[in-house]
Chain A
Amino acid sequence: MAAPLKVACVEIGRVPIALSTCDDRFLDLLRQRYDGFLSSSPHEFELEFDLADTGPVSDDDVRVRREGDEWLLERGDFCARWNPRTGQGRVRQNANPYSLDSVLRILHSLILAERGGFLLHAASAICDGRAYLFSGVSGAGKTTMTRLAPADITLLTDEISYLRPSADGYAAYGTPFAGELARAGENCAAPVSALFFLEQGPENRVDELTSAEAVRRLMRNILFFAEDHGLMEKLLATACDFVARVPIRRLTFYPDSRVWELVRNFDRDFERNLDRNSPGVPEHA
């Protein structure tokens, strides 16, 4: 007789997903890995894990495509099927936590794309009640920014930011997906104040980007794997909406703690510039 399924519900970005397995050790692994994101909420989606000897972890060969009503997620180390209509899916993978992370990230990217949100290759943190995002290519300084953060900053993630539309813009949520810092983010959320594309340089400065350049950089850093034209169209529409509603800047920074003063003052300076450029407001009021 097969061992009974045991379930842990992991809620990231207000999306509770039940992860079920017959394997006690795997259940312990995922409870430890997603500690802080375990939830007692009724699950919205469900993944059942079937552990097997699969191939090694590799980021190069991931494929995500529709097959009938289901999404088929394939990489050397896992194969998953998920039906968005029923919300249920099955995953065949080994007990590697990196495979588990990858399956969850892909699933969230599909769910978010339908809901006007996205996962972004970016660090994010809450400062004075507002979320700031730091994106860029590997080595641009995402982890450095989080390491330099003052003590009162709440880290949402140093690797994968979780973004959803909200009434007044977008909100950033903490994720357990860690990068070099090897530390999960806090399970909390805040309205997004700005997205910075990072570059390291000899001084700290913030420069504007054209809308087209902002969309181009944003699309380059969104985690999206699906071979699906309709979803790609939605994602481009979401990226354009994000650029229209959230200030996006290039942040050149010298890696010491002073850069956070620039970030902390961004809202104040941004509001001041808005006032200055607003018609009807005297320039020197």
Chain B
Amino acid sequence: MPENCIYIARSSAIAARALAGEMMVMNSADSTFFTLNEVATAIFQAADGHTPLREIVREKICAQFDVDPEQAQADAEQFVAELSGHGVLIVSNQPLATEAP
């Protein structure tokens, strides 16, 4: 899948809550629990299903954090792969409809 065609959306099976600057995410399907740092939270919150991941990294990460763009893209892809493996994010090479809970 070409990098610039990755679209991500939050799963409807998750519950998320921000506390003390961190995002807490729980998958209600298997009760796995994740804590997201500031950068990961920015990606998670921007996962609307129709903004390409590369654009999210450019607009939400590189514009707001002091990071190397290529490293940021690689880290974002790794983060997305990990969370999609746990069913927290849905990944596609086409725009996704955000799942209604």
User: Whole-angstrom distance from the CB of B9 to the nearest CB of chain A?
Assistant: 16
Quick check: which of A11-19, A119-127, A225-233 contacts chain B, the rest being far away?
A: A225-233
Q: From A26-34, A190-198, A210-218, A256-264, give the one contacting chain B.
A: A210-218
Q: Is B83 an interface residue (CB 8 A)?
A: no
Inter-chain contact A233/B15, CB cutoff 8 Å: yes
The interface stretch among B22-30, B50-58, B64-72, B73-81 is B22-30
Determine the chain A residues whose CB is within 8 A of the CB of B16 once the complex forms.
236
Given contacts A219-B33, A230-B101, A232-B28, contact A212 B15 (CB under 8 A): no
B12 within 8 A of A: yes
Q: Mark A215-259, 1 if CB is under 8 A from B, else 0.
A: 110011000000111101101110010011000000000000000
**B interface size (C-beta, 8 A):** 15
Contact between chains at B17 and A236 (CB < 8 Å): yes
User: What are the residues of chain A within 8 A of B24 when measuring CB–CB?
Assistant: 212, 215-216, 236, 240
Docked-complex contact B19 and A244, CB < 8 angstroms: yes
Nearest Cβ on chain B to A230's Cβ, whole angstroms: 7
How far does the Cβ of B39 sit from chain A's closest Cβ, in whole Å? 15
Contact A211 to B20, CB < 8 A, known contacts A219-B26, A229-B101, A230-B101: yes
Cβ-closest chain A residue relative to B16:
A236
Q: Across the interface, do B12 and A229 meet the contact criterion of CB distance under 8 Å? A: yes
Contact in complex: A236, B20 (CB < 8 Å) = no
B84 within 8 A of A: no
Chain A to chain B contacts (Cβ below 8 Å), 24 pairs? A211-B19, A211-B22, A212-B19, A212-B20, A212-B22, A215-B19, A215-B24, A215-B33, A216-B24, A219-B31, A220-B33, A227-B28, A228-B28, A229-B12, A229-B15, A232-B15, A232-B28, A235-B15, A236-B16, A236-B17, A236-B26, A237-B17, A240-B19, A243-B19
Which residues of A are in contact with B by a Cβ distance under 8 Å?
Answer: 210-212, 215-216, 219-220, 227-230, 232-233, 235-237, 240, 243-244
Which residues of chain B have a CB within 8 Å of any CB of chain A? 12-13, 15-17, 19-20, 22, 24, 26, 28, 31, 33, 35, 101
